[in-house]
Amino acid sequence: MIPQNSPLANYLSHRQDIDAAISRVVQGGQYILGPETAAFEKEFAEYTGVGYAVGTGNGTDALHLALRAIGVGAGDEVITVSHTAVATVAAVEMAGAAPILVDIEVGSYTMDPTQVKKAIGRRTKAILPVHLYGQPADLAPLIRLAEEHGLHLVEDCAQAHGASYHGKKVGSWGHVAAFSFYPTKNLGCLGDGGAVVTNRPDIHKKLIALRQYGWDRYRRSQIQGFNSRLDELQAAVLRVKLTHLDENNEKRVDIARVYDHSIDIAGLELPKPVPQTTHVYHQYVLRCPEPPVRDELISFMRDRHIQTAIHYPVPVHLQAAYARRLERRAPLGTTERAAGTIISLPMFPELSHDDAEKTAFAVRDFFAGKR
């Protein structure tokens, strides 16, 4: 079986260094907020091109704390997308705010700025675009809207470590940005992990308190806080993996090129590179003409021993937990059409050229049979 993803393959390709890092932590005796986390925060901030990074327990917490750090709370609204991991929307509610969901653009699968403009209201506090699949959202119009209306821009970078927009890394554009290091991400650890990045010293200071009971340096709780820390083992693993992030992203791009060149079928939409952005292909997502064709393609691939996935099959506003509650100010037609027709092909740095070709040829065979 060709897997859709393989965090194990990524561990195995850096095994010696990761094992040495783990052993160093275990024998060092300090397991929470020690030298590894501090060093990783510094290295990751440098890599992203920001002043500060703060490690958290996971990416959902990173978003939650990012929103709290800019003052989002009860009574506020945050504009985000429905075509995302539930985590994005869950984090807005964890901060006590109401998510306002807007549609995505055809082609990029990211937030449609024209819809954001219509959704801004009296209670809006922040705009939260998601750089989905490794494709940066169109940030320039969102930054303009945020400036015009006095809003914060919060980036969800969980799927886009190392991607850039107009030559600058994602995560360095917003007032604050959140990353996930879930094992399958472009930069993934061996468990849960996340980070918030910012250029603002005041936001950084608040994040340091928020992740640990609202403590000041004397361990006195000055604000309401939480417990969400990146542990030393994960930080040590991430330090190893960060040194390979660019080369691993290049491998993802090479696989995407194999797919681009070998799958050229009328009616099937391939990821379109958006000008002025670098896509880091967390996922390579095809769009079929109709939902039944997509579902048949999944079974066809399974019969060829090729695993595929759907990111995501049910938009957040249609999921049971949200369907009857969330305010919807705009139609979400593009989101709903995407959810029914998309399919994610195998994509991870260690996927061999042969397996990428096998995958592409299987897609071609499927559509040849349909003609």
Nearer to ligand PLP by Cβ, of 41 and 192: the residue is 192
- Distance between CA 60 and CA 195 in Å, rounded? 10
Q: What is the DSSP letter of 316?
A: G
Of the candidates 284, 283, 308, the residue with the CA atom closest to the CA atom of residue 296:
308
Of the candidates 348, 343, 347, 349, the residue with the CA atom closest to the CA atom of residue 363:
343
Of the candidates 5, 1, 53, 355, the residue with the CA atom closest to the CA atom of residue 188:
5
* The only residue of 40, 133, 165, 182 in contact with ligand PLP, by rule CB under 6 A: 182
Q: Nearest approach, Cβ of 86 to ligand PLP (angstroms)? A: 8
Q: Does 283 bind ligand PLP (CB under 6 A)?
A: no
- Distance between CA 160 and CA 262 in Å, rounded? 25
Size of the site for ligand PLP (CB under 6 A): 15
Nearer to ligand PLP by Cβ, of 2 and 154: the residue is 154
DSSP E strands, the chain: 52-56, 77-81, 98-102, 124-127, 152-156, 164-165, 168-169, 176-180, 194-198, 277-278, 284-287, 342-345
Per-residue tokens: 310? 């759907």
Q: What is the DSSP string of 174-221?
A: SSEEEEE--TTSSS--SS--EEEEES-HHHHHHHHHHTBTTB-TTS-B
Q: Which residue is nearest to ligand PLP (CB)?
A: 59
Nearer to ligand PLP by Cβ, of 160 and 297: the residue is 160
Q: What x/- string results for residues 6 through 45 when contact with ligand PLP is judged by CB under 6 A?
A: ----------------------------------------
Stretch that binds ligand PLP, among 17-25, 79-87, 235-243, 252-260 (CB under 6 A): 79-87
Nearer to ligand PLP by Cβ, of 159 and 335: the residue is 159
Per-residue tokens: 335? 């989101």
Stretch that binds ligand PLP, among 39-47, 98-106, 154-162, 237-245 (CB under 6 A): 154-162
Residues 6+ apart with CB under 8 A from 57: 192, 193, 194, 227, 228, 229, 230
Q: Does 180 bind ligand PLP (CB under 6 A)?
A: yes
Q: Does 80 bind ligand PLP (CB under 6 A)?
A: no
Q: Does 59 bind ligand PLP (CB under 6 A)?
A: yes
Stretch that binds ligand PLP, among 83-91, 115-123, 217-225, 239-247 (CB under 6 A): 83-91
Q: What is the DSSP string of 228-283?
A: ---BHHHHHHHHHHHTTHHHHHHHHHHHHHHHHHH---TT-BPPPPPTTEE---SS
* The only residue of 183, 194, 271, 346 in contact with ligand PLP, by rule CB under 6 A: 194
Cα 339-342-343 angle, rounded to 5 deg: 130
Q: What x/- string results for residues 106 through 145 when contact with ligand PLP is judged by CB under 6 A?
A: ------------------------x---------------
Stretch that binds ligand PLP, among 58-66, 140-148, 166-174, 361-369 (CB under 6 A): 58-66
Q: Nearest approach, Cβ of 332 to ligand PLP (angstroms)? A: 17
Q: Nearest approach, Cβ of 36 to ligand PLP (angstroms)? A: 19
Summarize as ranges the residues that interact with ligand PLP (CB under 6 A).
Answer: 58-60, 84-85, 87-88, 130, 156, 158-159, 180, 182, 192, 194
